[in-house]
Amino acid sequence: MTTEDLPIRHERSAAPKRKGRGIWLFIRDLVIILVAAIVISILIKAFLIRSFYIPSGSMEDTLEINDRIIVNELVPKLTPIQHGDVVVFKDPGGWLNPRNEPEPNWFAGSIDWALSVVGLSAPDSNDHLIKRVIGLPGDTVECCNVFGQMSVNGVPLSEPYLKLPAGVSKASGTDFKVTVPKDSLWVMGDNRYDSADSRYNTNKPGKGFVPIENVVGKAFVISWPMSRWTWLDNYPTVFAGVEDKDN
């Protein structure tokens, strides 16, 4: 054996070590990336956006059953709610019927939690409601005028998002006139004749009004199914001039 053989044998023996070390470095980096992605997803869900699915037809045809929506949680924390916004909110008290759902097993629960972290599942959707904001604090909301329209602060609304029964033009089957109290909202479903909204909860503790503090956020996009992907409009032209009226 010559001295020239030694460096060659040394390089061959070191190659498997370097290869093994490279694999572990790759695994380490992959784990770090996955953990970072989960942490970022949790932070985004906690402070910025959140996913919900639609369990009922009260917002048809704007939202259909089993649509998935993305909610901007900066509303109303940092950005004020506006007329026409579609908002998700916690039950103000008695709007939802009590539900006795069986506890999922630990495996199913873990999968559901993991999917919710990245916005692919919404396990608490059945504990929330979604409606369109018609009245803000101080507004007088009334229905209906001689043309069957609702009005806010005396301004009649032409509502293109409504789903009404065939042959019906009246914006609400129930006549009403309310003034929205401070820090509250008057909300209604787009499927106006099939929505247990503010009109039908006036006998509850909150008298049909939704405390702004109960609002989780503003729905701004339908994320699933892909065929339904669209931005959600708050129809500013519908409510043009409403804020200019004296409440």
Residue 217 · residue 88 · CB < 8 Å? yes
Give the separation between CA 171 and CA 157, rounded to whole angstroms.
Answer: 9
The active-site residue out of 13, 17, 51, 58 is 58
Q: 170 catalytic, yes or no? A: no
What is residue 30's predicted lDDT score, i.e. its pLDDT? 81
Show pLDDT as tens, one digit a residue, over the chain (247 residues): 454 554 545 555 555 666 667 788 778 878 888 777 666 666 666 568 888 989 999 999 999 999 999 999 999 989 999 999 999 999 999 999 876 555 655 555 555 555 555 555 555 567 899 999 999 999 999 999 999 999 999 999 999 999 999 999 999 999 999 999 999 999 999 999 999 999 999 999 999 999 999 999 999 999 889 999 999 999 999 999 998 655 4
231 and 81 Cβ atoms separated by less than 8 Å: no
Domains, the chain, with CATH or none: 48-231 (2.10.109.10)
Please tell me which residue in 51, 131, 151, 195 is annotated as part of the active site: 131
Task: Find the length of the chain.
Answer: 247
- What are the Cα distances from residue 112, in Å, to 31, 39, 109, 122, 181? 21, 17, 5, 8, 38
- At 137, list the tokens: 């604090």
Say what the pLDDT of residue 99 is. 63
User: Which pair of structure tokens corresponds to residue 185?
Assistant: 């909202």
pLDDT at 44: 60
pLDDT at 56: 93
pLDDT at 8: 47
Tell me the DSSP string of 144-200.
Answer: --TTS-EEETTEE---TT----TT---S-SS-EEEEPPTTEEEEE-SSTTS---GGG
Which pLDDT score, from 0 to 100, does residue 16 have? 61
For residue 130, which of 221, 219, 228 has the smallest C-alpha distance? 219
Query: In the annotation, is 56 catalytic?
Result: no
Contact 199, 68 (CB under 8 A): no
Sign of CA dihedral 200, 159, 233, 224: positive
